[in-house]
Chains A and B, each alone.
Chain A
C-alpha cells in the first residue's frame, strides 16, 4: 500500500517537474528568438533590395545580393572598421594592463592608506562621462589630441579603468597569498610576480574584462561623436550614422553595413564565451 502511495507521489512530482521544465525551455526559446531574430532579419535584409524589404520584409531574399555588402564595405565601412579595431584593441590592452597592475597594487602590496586609494580608484565608477565632456573637449584640444585616435584610446581607457580594476581586484583577492610568498622565496621581484604568477592566473577574468571592454569600445557613440569629426578617424557607430545619411534610401546597404559592424563582436563573444563566464563566476581552484 505504502509502496503504491510512494510511486503515485513520485509520478506527481515528475509531472510538475516536466511542466516546469517545459515552461522554462519555452521562455528561454522565446527570449532567444526576441534577441536573435532581429539580428538575422538585419543580416538577411542586407541581401535584399528595397522593394523586397518593404514588400515582403519577413521572407528570405529572392536573390542573394552580395553586392550590398561589397558596396557597404567599399563605401566607408572598411575605414570605420579599421579605426574601430585600432581604437578597441589599443584601449583594451591599455585598460586591462593598467587595471591589472592597479589591482595587483591594491591587493598584493603593503601600501599606506590602501582603503583610501581603493575608494578613490573605484570611486571613478560613479563619474558620469556626460558631465565631464566639456572639460575633456577643452583639455584634449589643448593637448592637440582632438580628432585623433589617441583621444578615443585615452578616454576609453580612463573611463573603463575603475570598472575593470574592480573586477580584476575582486578576482585577485581570491588568489592565495602563499603563491606570492613562494615566488618571493624563489627570488622573484614584484614585477616578476605580477607578470609570471599573478597575471597568468588571472587569465579568465582578464579575458572577461577584454570582452567587456571590446563590447563597450566597439559600440561607444557619445565620445566617438564628440571627439572625432574627420571620417578617417571615426569609429563604426558614428560612421554608420554617416552611411545612413549618405545611403538614407538604400536600406539594403545600410543593413549590410550594420551587419558587418556587428559581426566581429559576435564572433569575439562566441569564441571567448567559455572564458567570459568562467572569469566572472569562478575563483581559482586550489
Chain B
C-alpha cells in the first residue's frame, strides 16, 4: 500500500522543459492511467516516479516520504517496460529471480515467489525457456511476473500493450484488469496513448498535454464532463464534434446559434455579459441522432458513410470548411451519400467551451481558472 504525492514536479533537458510543475495525489490501491498524445510527457513523468529520470525540481513523495534522491530499487516500485526488457540470455525463471538474487534473498524464498507468480500468470511450463522462444503476450506476462515477485508497493506500466497485435492487446488488457483486482492494495500507474485502455482500466485518468495536466477524473467524468476542448476531443472515438457558435441570449438557460442550422437552447447558466460571445459548441458523434420533426440542431449533406456493422459513421457537411460533422448512427439506419439529413441531440449532451478552450460545464479547470471565461 502506498500513497503517491507529486508536488510541482518539473523536468527539463537543458533549456527544454518537459514537465511544467505537475501536482497530483494518488491514493493507495488506485489504478491511475496517464494518457495523452506523443510528446506530452507521460512517459517522462512515469520514469521520474520510477527514479529512472532525475526530477529537475519539485517533490515526489511515497507514503509522505520524499524520495527524490532514493535509488529506483529502494522506492518499492516495479516497472513493466514497453519493450518488455527481458534479459535475453536468461530463462524465464532467471529473469524473474534476477532482482531477488541481487537482493540476496534466500534460494527457497526466490523459488517460492517465482513459482507463485508463474502460477498466477500461467507461466509455470515456460520457466526454463529463453524469452526468444516465447510469443509477445507470454513475454509481456514474464515482464509482469518479474514485477510481481518483488512485491512492489507501486506498479508502473509504460505502454505495455503497444507491441501486441489487436486481439492479444484485448486479452492482455483483461489480464491486467484481473491482476489489479487480485492486488487491490497495490497502486498501479499505467501510461498509454490508447484511450480505450485508459477508459477500460483506470480508476482515474490523468490527461496530459505539453507537460501539463489537462484534467484528472474518472473515465466517465472525463467523457461526460470534459474540462476543456483538448480533453473533449482526446477522450472518445471518434472525437467530439466542435462547431463555432455564438451566445445569442445569456441567462439561466443559454440560447446559442451556430453555422449550419437553428438556434438552440442549452440548459446552462451564463452571465449577461456573455451575450454575443463567440464560443465552441461540442457534441459527441454518439449523442447525435436523425431529427424526427422540424426541431433540429444541424442540417447538411451526407459526405461519406463508414459502415462498421453494428454502427455506421456518417460524415455530414454542414458548411464547416474541411471539418465534417461526424455522427455515429445505428448500422441498420439507411443513410445515402449526398442526401440531406437533419441531426439533433439532447440539450444535456451539448458542451460549450469558452474562448480559452475551457468548458462552461467545468469552470474549475486543471489550470486553476475559477469560473467560465466567455
By a beta-carbon cutoff of 8 Å, the part of chain A in contact with chain B is 176, 178-179, 181-188, 192, 196-197, 200-201, 203, 284-286
Contacts and interface: CB of A to CB of B under 8 A. Distances in A.
B85 interface: yes
Given A185-B50, A185-B77, 12 more contacts: A178-B82, A178-B85, A179-B85, A181-B52, A181-B81, A185-B52, A185-B73, A185-B99, A187-B74, A187-B102, A196-B98, A201-B88
B151 to A, nearest CB: 13
A261 B82 CA distance: 52
A201 B131 CA distance: 14
24 contacts: A176-B85, A178-B81, A178-B82, A178-B85, A179-B87, A181-B52, A181-B85, A182-B79, A182-B86, A182-B146, A183-B87, A183-B98, A185-B50, A185-B72, A185-B77, A186-B102, A186-B146, A186-B150, A187-B73, A187-B74, A188-B73, A188-B102, A197-B87, A200-B89
Nearest to B79: A185
A203 B85 CA distance: 18
Interface residues of B, number: 24
B138 interface: no
Nearest to A187: B73
Residue among A181, A200, A285 with max Cβ neighbours from chain B (10 Å)? A181
B78 interface: yes
Q: Which 5 A-B pairs have the closest CB atoms?
A: A186-B99, A187-B73, A178-B85, A182-B85, A187-B102
Interface of B: 50, 52, 71-74, 77-79, 81-83, 85-89, 98-99, 102-103, 132, 146, 150
Contacts of A187: 73-74, 99, 102-103
Contacts of A285: 88, 132
Given A185-B78, A186-B99, A187-B73, A286 B89 contact: no
A186 to B, nearest CB: 3
A166 to B, nearest CB: 24
B214 to A, nearest CB: 28
A74 to B, nearest CB: 45
Contact of A186 (B73, B83, B89): B73
Residue among A178, A200, A284 with max Cβ neighbours from chain B (10 Å)? A178
A176 B82 CA distance: 12
Residue among A181, A182, A188, A285 with max Cβ neighbours from chain B (10 Å)? A182
